[in-house]
């Protein structure tokens, strides 16, 4: 009676599904409503437990009292999230259309935010945030509205709508402060600082990171404190203050190592390798990046992988291994396109143009770098625009266009 179309997934034959629909329609509306409510409650509990196992550090509205009863380890929780993400989006949308069950839309959307941030699913994130925000707007719960704006802001930034993302983060921060949701206020303060960092407004980023550092002083091993120390380190790196950058990034790494946050620790290690590279310690940087890449791949972390490949490309170009640098840059750019991460696309375009130019593929280098400049301008990535323009100027000079260069 049922057809299995993938692991753990079954469906009715078409005719049986039509018959089942008629049987459901014959039930009372209360029976149908109660059945759907039970389904939503079951999924809400499962996704909360899965997130507690897979990404427990993520700021959310609620946690699960005994997640180990649902999922024995992180790997199984992550596998369940991967299998159920599409179904969860559909359930949240359906719940949002039911006035009596609309709260489930923002509860499920809030839980899934961390998963969608780490595993980009742009269409799904946009849809679930839309359903969650629509439901939260109708709710009297200010924490729910803050959570949905936090999620919408990050989803918008993912696709390059950064100014709208910043507006959402600032509004969510105000709501979180008003309702006393301190963890969300600290996290959002960090997000605002990171947004300014990505705009290239380093002084503004430093101000917001400093505020977040104050807000997390009572939680020396907290995830948000580690995140803001990482942000401060990257800000110092872009300013050329290598020792300050290394100090801050090492502090973030120590917190994440002490608390077992492997993914965050890998981000810190990759950033420390960038410090080593820019200080000219290329062998040490290469060893660090090789380790980080292997571990990102083992975890299936595409965003971590593309960022590491981008750094490795720059390193190989510095070492004059141009063919290897070009191959790595292409891999990074392809992953950025695959994950639909606008900032990563801009970053990797700026990197890819350099080995193309150095390998005398001038026409392709010009195309890639012009695309990088255009995307950076469109999304206000001033630092990335500067990088792309420097590369473009060099390519134009080699193309015999000194005035344009």
Report pLDDT for 40.
Answer: 96
Res 379 pLDDT > 90 = no
Res 27 pLDDT > 90 = no
What global pTM score does this model have? Answer: 0.88
Instruction: Kindly report, residue by residue over 254-274, the tens digit of the pLDDT.
Output: 999 999 999 999 999 999 999
Report pLDDT for 160.
Answer: 82
Instruction: Kindly report, residue by residue over 119-174, the tens digit of the pLDDT.
Output: 877 788 899 999 999 999 998 899 999 999 999 999 998 888 889 999 999 999 99
| Alpha-carbon distance values, 401 to 79, 215, 308 (Å) | 53, 52, 33
Contact 242, 223 (CB under 8 A): no
Instruction: Kindly report, residue by residue over 227-246, the tens digit of the pLDDT.
Output: 999 999 999 999 999 999 99
Distance CA(275)–CA(134), nearest Å, equals 43
Contact 202, 385 (CB under 8 A): no
| Tokens 């059945």 -> residue | 35
10 sits in the region (left: phi over 0; alpha: psi -120 to 50; else beta) called beta
């Amino acid at each position: 009676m049922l057809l299995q179309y993938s692991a753990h997934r079954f469906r009715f034959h078409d005719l049986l599904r039509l018959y089942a629909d008629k049987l459901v329609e014959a039930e009372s509306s209360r029976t149908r409503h109660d059945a759907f409510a039970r389904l939503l409650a079951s999924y809400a509990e499962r996704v909360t437990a899965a997130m507690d196992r897979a990404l427990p550090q993520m700021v959310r509205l609620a946690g699960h009292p005994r997640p180990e009863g649902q999922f024995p380890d992180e790997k199984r929780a992550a596998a369940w999230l991967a299998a159920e993400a599409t179904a969860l989006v559909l359930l949240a949308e359906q719940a949002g259309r039911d006035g009596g069950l609309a709260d489930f839309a923002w509860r499920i959307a809030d839980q899934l935010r961390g998963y969608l941030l780490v595993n980009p699913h742009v269409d799904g994130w946009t849809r679930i945030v839309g359903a969650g925000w629509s439901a939260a707007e109708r709710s009297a719960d200010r924490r729910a509205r803050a959570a949905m704006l936090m999620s919408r802001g990050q989803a918008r930034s993912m696709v390059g709508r950064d100014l709208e993302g910043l507006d959402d983060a600032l509004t969510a921060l105000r709501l979180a402060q008003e309702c006393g949701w301190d963890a969300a206020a600290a996290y959002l303060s960090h997000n605002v600082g990171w947004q300014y960092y990505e705009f290239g407004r380093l002084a503004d980023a430093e101000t917001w990171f400093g505020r977040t550092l104050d807000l997390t002083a009572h939680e020396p091993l907290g995830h948000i404190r580690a995140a803001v120390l990482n942000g401060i380190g990257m800000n110092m790196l872009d300013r050329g203050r290598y020792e300050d950058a290394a100090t801050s990034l090492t502090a973030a790494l120590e917190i994440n190592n002490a608390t077992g946050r492997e993914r965050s620790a890998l981000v810190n290690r990759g950033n420390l390798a960038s410090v080593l590279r820019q200080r000219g310690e290329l062998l040490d940087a290469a060893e660090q990046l090789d380790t980080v890449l292997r571990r990102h791949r083992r975890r299936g972390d595409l965003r971590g992988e593309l960022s590491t490949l981008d750094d490795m490309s720059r390193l190989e170009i510095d070492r004059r291994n141009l063919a290897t640098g070009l191959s790595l840059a292409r891999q990074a750019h392809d992953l950025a396109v695959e994950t639909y991460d606008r900032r990563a696309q801009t970053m990797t375009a700026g990197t890819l143009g350099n080995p193309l130019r150095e390998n005398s593929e001038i026409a392709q280098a010009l195309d890639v770098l012009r695309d990088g400049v255009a995307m950076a301008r469109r999304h206000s990535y001033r630092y990335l625009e500067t990088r792309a323009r420097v590369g473009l100027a060099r390519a134009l000079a080699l193309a015999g266009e000194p005035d344009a260069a």
